Structure 1
Amino acid sequence: MTNALFLFDPAAEGVPVNADELHTGWTLTLPADVRRHALKSMRIGVGEELQLSDGRGLRLGAVVDDAEAGVVHVTSVGREPEPVTRLALVQALAKQGRDEEAVDASTQIGVDEVVPWQADRSIVKWKDGKADRKWAAVIDAATEQSRRAWRPVLAERVNSKGVVAICRRACVHGDVVVVLHQDANETWDGVEEAVRALSDRCLEDGRPRTVYVVVGPEGGISEDEVAAFKAAGALVCVLGRNILRAATAGPVALSLLSRALGRF
């Protein structure tokens, strides 16, 4: 069984961020929040193992020496490479927490970036300072739950013009934007073919590229938005015959893409 993982800030704890400077036997004191979660809530005791990560690829294995003081010693050190073909979720704000459900599941699946989208039909309004902290907390919890060494980047909130800009940049940089729309004619097979071709280009030249999955709110993406995204170079497709909720569509699409990219 994989040991529980906890995110922490190495710089704040005086830990070198360069894995080459770290070594087994290194002793450190867990941050207060990690101590509460790992040692109090989960009751990880002396002699038991856990993992620590900075969310940027660093993964430390550690054993608890002193549960009361929160002291552990490092037993393994590693740094995992970031995927060359990245997955991003552009998630429209949705009511009843369905947007956060989508972010939670997508993080567990392996998404690399999350972009909050204030769509034309989004009933929920983004509140700077409050909403971003809430989404960040969801991402942190899901990153730890899935034992990931890479925490998804939470981008700034965009409106529909911002999504158009993402589509245009994608055309310039060789990325792919996939818009999920129930009335589209393009099928998912064509999307996977385009994504596999993108992955092949990444492997050939080593240059990172991103696949964006755009998911609308409960009321769907408006026709004007769909037309603007398509004109800016996005692939507009239907995911399947069943119409999925705002909380489900993104994770399902990302699961299929992860499998196509060999990440599952």
Structure 2
Amino acid sequence: MTNALFLFDPASDGVPVNADELHTGWTLTLPADVKRHALKSMRIGVGEELQLSDGRGLRIEAEVDDADNGVVHVKSVGREPAPVTRLALIQALAKQGRDEEAIDASTQIGVDEVIPWQADRSIVKWKDGKTDRKWGAVLDAATEQSRRSWRPELADCVNTKGVVAICRRACVHGDMVVVLHQDANETWDGVERAVRELADRTLDDGRARTIHVVVGPEGGISDDEIAAFKAAGAYVCVLGRNILRAATAGPVALTLLARALGRF
């Protein structure tokens, strides 16, 4: 079984940011929150192993030496590269925590960026300093649960004009925006063909690209929004015959994209 992973902040917790400065046998004291979670709640004991990550690719394998004081020694250190073709979820705010369910599952699947969207039909309102902390905590927990060394970036909340701007930038930079809409005529097969072509271009020129998946709220994406996204160059497609919840559509689409990109 893969050892449990815990996120930490190297800058504030006294661990060198540069992985090259770490080495096998190096001893460190776990941050208070990691110590509480790993050694108290999960009861990881002396001689057992755990992983630490800064959420930016650093992965430390360590063994517990002193459970009372939270002292571990490093067994291995490495940095994992970020994906060249990134996956981003533009998730509309949704009721009853369905937006948080979506970003939790998407993190486990491998999404690289999460962008909150205050859609025209979103009933829930984004609150700076409150909602962002909740979403950040969800991303942290899902990153640890899935043993990822890369935590998804949480972008600022955007309105519909902001999503249109993302669509326009995608056209300029060679990225993609895929809008999931139940009444679209474009099928998912067409999207996957475009994704494979984008991946081939990335291999040819080595330039990082991003595929954005746009998911609306419970009431769906308005006609005006769909028209604006299409005009800005987005792919608008139907995912399948069944209508999925706001919590489900994004993770399903990201799973299919991850498979098409060879990330599964």
Class of the TM-score when normalised by the shorter of the 2 chains? over 0.9
- What SS does the corresponding residue of 2:122 show, helix, strand or coil? coil
Would you say 1:153 and 2:153 are equivalent positions? yes
Would you say 1:136 and 2:136 are equivalent positions? yes
- Higher alpha-carbon deviation: 8-17 or 168-177: 8-17
Tell me how far 1:15 sits from its aligned partner.
Answer: 1.7
Q: Which consecutive unaligned segments of at least 5 residues does structure 2 have?
A: none
1:30-77 superposed Cα distances (whole Å, 9 cap, x missing partner): 111101110000000001000000000000000001101001010010
Q: Which residue of 1 aligns with 2:53?
A: 53
Would you say 1:257 and 2:257 are equivalent positions? yes
Distance in 1, matches of 2:13 and 2:139, equals: 22
Distance in 2, matches of 1:174 and 1:230, equals: 16
Tell me how far 1:19 sits from its aligned partner.
Answer: 1.7
TM-score, normalised by the number of residues in structure 2: 0.99
Distance in 1, matches of 2:220 and 2:13, equals: 45
Q: Which residue of 1 aligns with 2:79?
A: 79
Question: Following TM superposition, where does structure 1 have runs of at least 4 consecutive aligned residues deviating by more than 4 angstroms?
Answer: none
Q: Which residue of 1 aligns with 2:115?
A: 115
- What SS does the corresponding residue of 1:11 show, helix, strand or coil? coil
Q: 2:114 is aligned with what amino acid?
A: V
Q: Which residue of 2 aligns with 1:164?
A: 164
- What SS does the corresponding residue of 1:233 show, helix, strand or coil? coil
Tell me how far 1:200 sits from its aligned partner.
Answer: 1.0
Tell me how far 1:14 sits from its aligned partner.
Answer: 2.2
* Identity between Structure 1 and Structure 2 (%): 87
Distance in 1, matches of 2:77 and 2:65, equals: 18
Q: How does 1:2-13 map to 2 (within 5 A)?
A: 2-13=2-13
Tell me how far 1:206 sits from its aligned partner.
Answer: 1.1
Q: 2:24 is aligned with what amino acid?
A: T
Q: Which consecutive unaligned segments of at least 5 residues does structure 1 have?
A: none
Would you say 1:26 and 2:26 are equivalent positions? yes
Distance in 1, matches of 2:11 and 2:47, equals: 26
Would you say 1:216 and 2:251 are equivalent positions? no
Would you say 1:41 and 2:41 are equivalent positions? yes
Distance in 1, matches of 2:18 and 2:127, equals: 36
TM-score, normalised by the number of residues in structure 1: 0.99
